[in-house]
């Protein structure tokens, strides 16, 4: 009888844990909004849980590399958004890497008016209008030098310029 009770407690605990994970998952999406007369991309958290440690970059041509430096953003709670007002040129693809409170990793990508969200751990490949993205492509995004979003906004409207005056953070280590 004790073994049956212990088994029920374990099963119940696992169910509660899975339920908590499911109701605390962030879901990042992309949209545009006109701000000060300019169409501006935004990342919006439509999920219930916070999105942590955002790392954002973009491509102006799908055959090219992610723009460097990537931008680290503050965490996004439910219905929070971050303006991507530093993007320049004709943006083809925007990618964001983020974590949830359980340390699960996610990738969200937008291109050609299509948004896809995948868990990073089991990411295989993703096709957006005939262009294929795989885990290795996103691994390159994670290897980029990065700068905080607040520092990007201090510079006069330009992201991709002389970055010698900025402190870069590479994979959590100060350079």
Q: What share of the chain has pLDDT > 90, as a percent? A: 37
Predicted local confidence at residue 164, as pLDDT: 37
User: Do residues 58 and 67 lie in contact, with contact meaning Cβ atoms separated by under 8 Å?
Assistant: yes
Closest CA to 36 of 81, 71, 85: 85
Predicted local confidence at residue 63, as pLDDT: 61
Please report how many Cα atoms fall inside a 13 Å half-sphere around the Cα of residue 125, on the Cβ side.
Answer: 5
Q: What b-and-e string marks burial along 120-151, b requiring 16 or more CB atoms within 10 Å of the CB? A: beebeebebeeeebeeebbeebbebebbebeb
Residue 153 has pLDDT above 60, yes or no: no
pLDDT band at residue 129 under the 50/70/90 scheme: low
Residue predicted with more confidence, 89 or 96: 96
Predicted local confidence at residue 134, as pLDDT: 86
Predicted local confidence at residue 2, as pLDDT: 55
pLDDT-wise least confident of 59-63, 102-106, 139-143, 165-169 = 165-169
Please report how many Cα atoms fall inside a 13 Å half-sphere around the Cα of residue 160, on the Cβ side.
Answer: 11
Q: How far apart are CA 102 and CA 24, in angstroms?
A: 9
Closest CA to 53 of 28, 24, 89, 17: 28
pLDDT-wise least confident of 29-33, 91-95, 101-105, 166-170 = 166-170
Q: How far apart are CA 159 and CA 161, in angstroms?
A: 6
Predicted local confidence at residue 28, as pLDDT: 96
Residues β-bridged to residue 156: none
């Amino acid at each position: 009888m004790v073994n049956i009770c212990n088994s029920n407690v374990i099963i119940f605990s696992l169910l509660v844990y899975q339920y908590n994970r499911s109701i605390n998952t962030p879901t990042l999406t992309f949209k545009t909004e006109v701000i000060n007369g300019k169409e501006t991309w935004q990342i919006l958290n439509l999920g219930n849980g916070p999105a942590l440690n955002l790392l954002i970059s973009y491509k102006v041509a799908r055959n090219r590399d992610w723009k460097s430096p990537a931008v680290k953003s503050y965490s996004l709670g439910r219905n929070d958004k971050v303006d991507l007002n530093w993007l320049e040129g004709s943006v083809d693809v925007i990618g964001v890497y983020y974590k949830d409170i359980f340390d699960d990793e996610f990738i969200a990508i937008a291109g050609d008016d299509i948004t896809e969200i995948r868990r990073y751990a089991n990411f295989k490949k993703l096709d957006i209008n005939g262009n294929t993205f795989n885990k290795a492509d996103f691994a390159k995004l994670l290897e980029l030098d990065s700068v905080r979003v607040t520092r990007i906004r201090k510079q006069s409207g330009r992201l991709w310029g002389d970055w010698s005056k900025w402190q870069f953070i590479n994979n959590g280590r100060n350079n």
